[in-house]
């Protein structure tokens, strides 16, 4: 199945996508992760994208769409994927319709204070992108539980950047909910508990929509 995830930054999309990609035979594809890989590699694309990302702004479509098109053409994405971070605007949603057929769109929701808490403590693996949380006692430079590479606080997870990202989301991404609702593809899932102790409850909410 080809699934798109919507939801504000920090709602847990990345963590949910990781869990679902372990449970179902479809990869987790995150445009944010694809862009951060380009930055780490020091590519021309990465250099162009970096200044937008540091300001919490959206990277120009021409860059993101090209990266995504390439990733979706890889063999592991042939039968489905969990797409996280794209589309973020109506224009991107229309582009996506031209690239592939989407089966379902899950809009993840959580209470605002949970979102701020998640972002403030989020620690991301610099190699594989796995998300950890400072509330478990982990800190920057500790090894990733999945691959052993150091974990770090994303530059855009600092408070001032978080506000800019939430603002971008309100302005540009929220209209997508209406777009997919009209297409009859939208599913809403609200989940507040940390996934570490609520995996089964979370999967029970999602499972009925993935058949
Ligand atoms: P994320 O990892 O999804 O929180 O994305 C981190 C940053 O990457 C965003 O704040 C944007 O600067 C950039 N980005 C990710 N996906 C997109 C997209 N679909 N369109 C434009 N910029 C994006």
Beta carbons of 132 and 145 less than 8 angstroms apart: yes
Q: Measured between alpha carbons, how far is 26 from 40 in angstroms, rounded to an integer?
A: 25
Work out the average pLDDT over 64-72.
97
pLDDT at 148 over 90: yes
pLDDT at 160 over 90: no
- Cα distances from 82 to residues 39, 136, 194, in angstroms, run 23, 26, 20
Work out the average pLDDT over 145-168.
88
Q: State the virtual CA torsion across 87, 89, 93, 98 in degrees, nearest 10.
A: -100
Residue 49 has a pLDDT of 97
- Nearest atom of ligand 1 to the alpha carbon of 57: 12
Average pLDDT of the chain is 93
Q: Measured between alpha carbons, how far is 204 from 47 in angstroms, rounded to an integer?
A: 41
Ligand 1 pocket test, pick from 31, 69, 115, 152 with the greatest ligand atom count within 8 Å of Cβ, gives: 31
Nearest to 188 by CA among 104, 103, 131: 104
Work out the average pLDDT over 51-75.
95
- Cα distances from 67 to residues 43, 51, 61, in angstroms, run 12, 17, 10
Residue 118 has a pLDDT of 85
- Nearest atom of ligand 1 to the alpha carbon of 156: 10
pLDDT at 111 over 90: no
Residue 114 DSSP class: H
């Amino acid at each position: 199945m080809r699934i798109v995830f919507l939801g504000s930054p920090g709602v847990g999309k990345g963590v949910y996508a990781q869990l679902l990609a372990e449970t179902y035979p479809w990869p987790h594809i995150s445009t944010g992760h694809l862009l951060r890989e380009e930055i780490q590699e020091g590519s021309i694309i990465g250099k162009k994208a970096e200044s937008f990302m540091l300001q919490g702004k959206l990277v120009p479509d021409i860059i993101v769409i090209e990266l995504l098109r390439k990733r979706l053409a890889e063999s592991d994405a042939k039968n489905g994927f969990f797409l996280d971070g794209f589309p973020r605007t109506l224009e991107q949603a229309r582009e996506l319709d031209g690239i592939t057929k989407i089966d379902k769109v899950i809009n993840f929701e959580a209470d605002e204070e949970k979102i701020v808490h998640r972002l403030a403590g989020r620690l991301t693996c610099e190699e594989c992108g796995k998300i950890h949380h400072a509330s478990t006692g982990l800190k920057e430079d500790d090894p990733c539980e999945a691959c052993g590479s150091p974990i770090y606080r994303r530059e855009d997870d600092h408070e001032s950047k978080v506000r800019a990202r939430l603002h971008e989301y309100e302005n540009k991404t929220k209209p997508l909910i209406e777009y997919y609702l009209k297409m009859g593809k939208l599913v809403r899932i609200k989940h507040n508990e940390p996934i570490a102790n609520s995996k089964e409850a979370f999967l029970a909410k999602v499972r009925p929509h993935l058949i």
